Structure 1
Amino acid sequence: MANHLSAQKRVRQEERRTEFNRKNKTRLRHSIRAMRKALTSKDASAANELLGTTFSMIDRSARSGIIKRNTAARYKSRIHAKVKALAAK
């Protein structure tokens, strides 16, 4: 247990930040999971509909430090390639 006032404040801040990060990372995973589900079911219209919201969620997560920038770029690249391939069929 922290004894100094500044250490106690740091513990409180970390708890709030951890809760924020956990909630947003879960939201990101659910968004990506829904996108992958649309891609595996070969539903092009649903995939196109989810594309913007999923990309937005990925970008926001990268900006706030939930995931790294290169990880976000990799997710977006792979998802976009699969959507394009699905649209081409």
Structure 2
Amino acid sequence: MANTTSAKKATRKMARRTAINKTRRSRVRGFVRKVEEAIASGNADQAKAALQLAEPELARAAGKGVLHRNTASRKVSRLAQRVKAISA
């Protein structure tokens, strides 16, 4: 348990940031899931549209520090690769 005033404040800040980051991470997962569902259904147009929405969301999460930028880049790359495979 935090004893000093500054430690108590730091704990409150961490709790707020954790809640915000949890929301952002959940949002990203939702966008990625929509792309994966479109890929699974075999609908290339829907998958492309979902990927265009998911890409900036992943970049935003990386910019905010929720995901590492390489992780976001890797996810976009792999999703794009799968979308391209069903398009062909």
Query: Which bracket does the TM-score occupy, shorter chain normalised?
Result: over 0.9
Q: How many residues align?
A: 88
TM (norm. structure 1) is: 0.93
> Following superposition, which runs of at least 4 residues in structure 1 exceed 4 angstroms of deviation?
none
Aligned to 1:43: 43
CA distance in 1, matches of 2:68, 2:11: 24
Letter in 1 for 2:45: S
User: Structure 2: which 5+ residue stretches go unaligned?
Assistant: none
Residue identity over aligned pairs, in percent, reads 38
CA distance in 2, matches of 1:29, 1:67: 11
Aligned to 2:22: 22
CA distance in 1, matches of 2:86, 2:18: 37
Letter in 1 for 2:70: N
CA distance in 2, matches of 1:74, 1:51: 13
User: Structure 1: which 5+ residue stretches go unaligned?
Assistant: none
Aligned to 1:81: 81
Aligned to 1:31: 31
CA RMSD of aligned residues (A): 0.9
